[in-house]
Structure 1
Amino acid sequence: MADWELSDGKVYPQRAEPQDAPPGPSTCVFPTEAQLDTLVRELTSRRLSAVSVGAGEGYLEAQLQRRGVAVTAVDLDALADPSGYTTLRCFCSAIRRVRAGQLFRIAESASCALLFEWGRDLPWRQYLRAYPEVPLVVIVGDPALHDGLTEPSASALLDDAEWSLEWRLPFAAVHPSALAAAYSRRTAAPPRATRLGRRPIGFTPPRAVLVAIQIPTDCVLDREGPLMLARVPGVWLRMQKLQFDAEEISAHTFERAAPHVAAAAATLLPADGVHAVGLSCTSMSFVLGTAAVDELLRRGCPRAQTTDMARAQRAALRALGVTRVALVTPYILDLAEKNVDMLAAGGVAVVAHETMGLTHDSMTDKVSKQTITEWAVGVDCGEAEAVVIGCSALRSCEPGFIDQLEEKLQKPVVTSTQAFLWSMLRVAGIDDQIDGYGTLLAKH
């Protein structure tokens, strides 16, 4: 035991190497070249300097300094080795001394790595709390000596959500089970930019909300309706398709689909925010009849005014003072005759009528405006006070089209979509007049 002495219950070797020629390290960390290279790459790739806390004799720090890494070595001013030997051997340029419990002040922590080498009084967690900007931590420790508080082991931050393990490997040191581990701070989520505003909020309610319940084959109203109503400030148009089990435009198709009218209207929320709701199919309207249509629409929108394209045709002709019309429709004969009967029930005589015999809207919506014009001119006669163009699937309500046709015919023209939107506006209490859509909307 001549070469050892007992102090504070611990055994320390007695050392007698000359001060001017210290031998290899014996009480510090002394990594191999490969281990050093791993650490140097980690630091230099991130362009980081380092503060090494618990530097001991500074051997690791000296090796890093020789490889171009700016390292500040820090250790306690009261050393665990009472022999004074470690004060004689210092491998690095200098070791800064701090008192127990004191933190070394780090000037530029955001560009600095922290290196912790085991030490019984090392306040390593205090460093992490004091310098939250530090991006990288390297811990050299022996799991056998780790007490979780003052002696960090290489696995100390494995379960810490703030840190991510970059690498862990054996590190040559006095303690044979020493490991080194590098942890990078996880990138914190940026602070949320969203906050609850405190500025006043102004609300502008619509003058009227109009709802068109459409058959699923109708795509013309989707284009023509918004174009017209964009000219009426404060009026909103909502469109809701109802369910069909066939594409054929016939009385049987409409009768089977009738229950779906109520279901389509019932999907609208808030129901009490609707001012007017209407069935936007002329032939379905006159097949089902006014009373049935109203009952179906009111199931979904009980507080809204109701209308449909069939009654809108009659109301438009009454507003114009017309009792005799020429009629153009795209329907098969059965539906075309029902259109004549519907007008007659409203006191309007059809003095001339031509129908195209089309069975599907996918054909009707492709009929050109030139064709519609030619059929309207062809069916007109001197006895007719106005020309009616039935069916919303005919593209007869685009801006300017009705005005041009009235100028050519020299009499009012009523189309299904024009009359329907006019009726929706009027039953909702909107009396605005609109140019470009014929006499009906310009004067009534």
Structure 2
Amino acid sequence: MTEICLNTARPLLDARPLRKRVGLVILATDHTTEPDFQRMVASERIGVYVARIFYANPTTPENLRRMQPALTEGAALILPGEDLDAICYSCSSASVVIGDEEIAAAIGTAKPGVPVVTPTLAATAGLKALGAKKISILTPYTVETSRPMADYFAARDFDITSFTCLGFEDDREMARIAPASLVELARSAIAPDADALFISCTALRSASVAAAIEEAIGRPVVTSNQATAWNCLRLCGDASPHPRFGRLMTLPLERNSP
């Protein structure tokens, strides 16, 4: 029998394995947020920690609203008993249906005092950082699911010069839209007088082609995952520019932004 020796010398422990921690609460069906955050946020300094909550298609306001009760439990599963530097609920359409404040309250029950980021809050802050007042919006949703999104941004004093939706009901299909197609869709969705384009939906792979979209439309673009990644990076004290993910990723975050 092999003799096993116990080393009783206590090794030195770091305060944290990584200096900063970002939590993600994402849909069970999400294909895109984790890869995007690994590209844009995760580093030797920042760790990204994920919990999935139940979600069933089709993407309707009713189904989106049903996620609200699971938010507290989902957040509680991310490093229980340990602090986070930011936590993101990664669903744009549900953020407007449930409400940013309600989402923050549900997550705050499990992670009190942690800044809560939603795609719509981050997009609002990003559009303001870019100085955009007139915006075009592109979503993959149906008209029914797009309406609350239009109302959300109109209520925040943005002039919506055009709004285009694609009529998809399944977020897994939204994730399969080719990035090159998103560039062409952006080109057709931007209004001549818009200051910027917002592309909603965390399922879309639009963050990876943000720079290409900006070149195609000649104006800034804000996408759901790009905006939340930017917001989380800045909350972690990372001010480094990442222009390959769009102009927004070169800007600071105003800490009093919505």
- TM-score when scaled to structure 2? 0.91
SS in structure 2 opposite 1:358? coil
In proportion to residue count, which structure has more strand?
A: 1
Aligned-pair distance for 1:404? 1.8
In proportion to residue count, which structure has more helix?
A: 2
In structure 1, the partner of 2:162 is 352
SS in structure 1 opposite 2:222? strand
Q: Distance in 1 between matches of 2:212 and 2:8?
A: 52
1:212 maps to a residue whose letter is L
Please give the residue correspondences for 1:235-274 in structure 2 after superposition, counting only pairs within 5 Å.
Answer: 235-244=46-55, 246-274=56-84
**Equivalent pairs: percent with the same residue?**
24
Aligned-pair distance for 1:237? 0.7
Instruction: Find out whether 1:418 has 2:229 as its counterpart.
Output: no
Aligned-pair distance for 1:197? 5.9
Which of these residues, 186, 189, 198, is aligned with residue 388 of structure 1? Answer: 198
In structure 1, the partner of 2:117 is 307
5+ long unaligned stretches in structure 2: 253-258
Deviations 1:86-117 (A, max 9, x none): xxxxxxxxxxxxxxxxxxxxxxxxxxxxxxxx
Instruction: Find out whether 1:207 has 2:15 as its counterpart.
Output: no
Instruction: Find out whether 1:317 has 2:138 as its counterpart.
Output: no
Query: In 2 relative to 1, CA 302–204 (structure 1 residues): closer, same or farther, beyond 3 Å?
Result: closer
1:224 maps to a residue whose letter is D
Instruction: Find out whether 1:378 has 2:181 as its counterpart.
Output: no
Deviations 1:365-395 (A, max 9, x none): 1111121111100011220111111101111
Which of these residues, 226, 229, 232, is aligned with residue 38 of structure 2? Answer: 226
Aligned-pair distance for 1:409? 1.6
Cα pair 2:183 2:212 within 8 Å, conserved: no
Cα pair 1:271 1:300 within 8 Å, conserved: no
Which structure has the higher relative contact order (CA within 8 Å, separation 6+)? 2
Cα pair 2:22 2:49 within 8 Å, conserved: yes
Deviations 1:193-212 (A, max 9, x none): x5326375252633321111
Q: Distance in 1 between matches of 2:118 and 2:163?
A: 22
In structure 1, the partner of 2:249 is 441
Question: When the two structures are aligned, how many residues end up with a matched partner?
Answer: 251
Q: Distance in 1 between matches of 2:240 and 2:13?
A: 25
Cα pair 1:208 1:430 within 8 Å, conserved: no
In structure 1, the partner of 2:212 is 404
SS in structure 2 opposite 1:273? coil
Find the structure with the greater CA-based Rg: 1
Q: Distance in 2 between matches of 1:416 and 1:190?
A: 55
5+ long unaligned stretches in structure 1: 1-188
Cα pair 1:329 1:356 within 8 Å, conserved: yes
Q: Distance in 1 between matches of 2:181 and 2:130?
A: 25
Q: Distance in 2 between matches of 1:336 and 1:262?
A: 26
2:31 maps to a residue whose letter is C
Aligned-pair distance for 1:299? 0.9
Q: Distance in 1 between matches of 2:26 and 2:34?
A: 9
The runs of at least 4 aligned residues of structure 1 exceeding 4 Å deviation read: none
Aligned-pair distance for 1:191? 1.7
In structure 2, the partner of 1:191 is 3
Deviations 1:107-137 (A, max 9, x none): xxxxxxxxxxxxxxxxxxxxxxxxxxxxxxx
Q: Distance in 2 between matches of 1:356 and 1:394?
A: 12
Q: Distance in 2 between matches of 1:359 and 1:420?
A: 23
1:286 maps to a residue whose letter is V
